[in-house]
Amino acid sequence: MKQHSIRNTHNAFRFACCVFFLILLSACLPQPTPTPFLPPTRALPAPTPDSQSALPSPTALEIALPTATATPQPSSTPAQPTVTPTVPCFSSLRYISDLTYPDGTLVAPGERLAKQWQVENNGSCDWGPGYRLKLVGGFPLGVFGEVALYPARAGSQAVIEILFTAPLDPGSYRTVWQAFDPDGNPFGDVVYMEIVVR
């Protein structure tokens, strides 16, 4: 009986030593490092026996992050074209002097008279087609209706000439002329000639 008890004690001691040795051995062994989990960026095809070596390792996968792109915002107010207002020009004529036949000049009956006036275009419109001289008073002296106004740029001087014919009857005669723009509006100083037929 005593011998059986000693054997049980000896077996228990051996079992305890084995357990202690296994625990000590497991503590000394190197522990495996866990592999971090990386989510895949795309679904990979099912591996085949030939493609096992071609699959990338989990550490070689790159995580693709979406990049934000700036979207141009529409302008709140569209750009308006710059409009420069056009100021209409104005017509004007300034009398300067008589170049021929000063007032009171004696002429023969029926004489041809080339009357000239020195004037200035002191407006901002150029005198061109449509500008006229019209009889506005006195005698026509052989010129009826209207004649073309000599072309002149704004700010320049010009010579106006009208060919008259002296009346056959003796006496004093006066003829008065006015400039008109293409719209029929009179402008500027009037020009006139005064002669005495003898």
Residue 61 has pLDDT above 80, yes or no: no
The answer to whether residues 99 and 118 touch, using CB atoms and an 8 Å cutoff, is yes
Residue 68 confidence (pLDDT): 53
**In angstroms, rounded to a whole number, what is the distance separating the alpha carbons of residues 57 and 59?**
5
Q: What percent of the chain has pLDDT over 70?
A: 60
**Which of these, 190, 191, 186, lies nearest to 90 by C-alpha position?**
186
User: Is 113 in contact with 163 (CB distance < 8 Å)?
Assistant: yes
45 or 131, higher pLDDT: 131
Amino acid letter for position 67: T
Run of H or E including 105? strand 105-107
Rounded mean pLDDT, 119-136:
97
Give the C-alpha distances (Å, rounded to integers) separating 92 from 10, 128, 144, 190.
143, 13, 23, 11
Ordered DSSP codes for 135-187: EEEE--TT--SEEEPPPB-TT-EEEEEEEEE--SS-EEEEEEEEEE-TTS-EE
For 153-180, the pLDDT digits (tens) are 999 999 999 999 999 999 999 999 999 9
Supply the mean pLDDT for the chain: 80
| pLDDT range class, residue 150, cuts 50, 70, 90 | very high
Interval 177-197 mean pLDDT: 97
- Token pair for residue 96? 């300067």
Does 146 score more than 60 pLDDT?
yes
CATH numbers and ranges of domains, the chain:
94-197 (2.60.40.10)
**Tokens 């591996």 — which residue?**
47
Question: What tokens appear for 147 in the block?
Answer: 């004649």
Q: In angstroms, how far is the first alpha carbon of the chain from the final one?
A: 191
Burial class (CB in 10 A: 0-12, 13-18, 19+), 123: buried
Residue with the bigger pLDDT between 17 and 191: it is 191
Buried b (16+ CB within 10 A) or exposed e, 88-107: eeebbbeeeebeebeeeeeb
- pLDDT at position 53 is 47
pTM metric for this prediction: 0.57
What would the pLDDT profile of 64-76 be if each residue is shown by its tens digit? 555 555 565 656 6
Band (pLDDT 50/70/90 cuts) for residue 12 is low
- State the DSSP string of 34-97: PPPP---SSPPPPP-TTTTTTSPPGGG--PPPPPP-PPPPPPSSPPPPP-PPPPPP----EEEE
Averaging pLDDT over each range in 11-15, 25-29, 58-62, 170-174, which range is the top one? 170-174
Token readout for 7 is 């054997």
98-121 pLDDT, tens digit each: 999 999 999 999 999 999 999 999
Q: How confident is the model at residue 134 (pLDDT cuts 50, 70, 90)?
A: very high
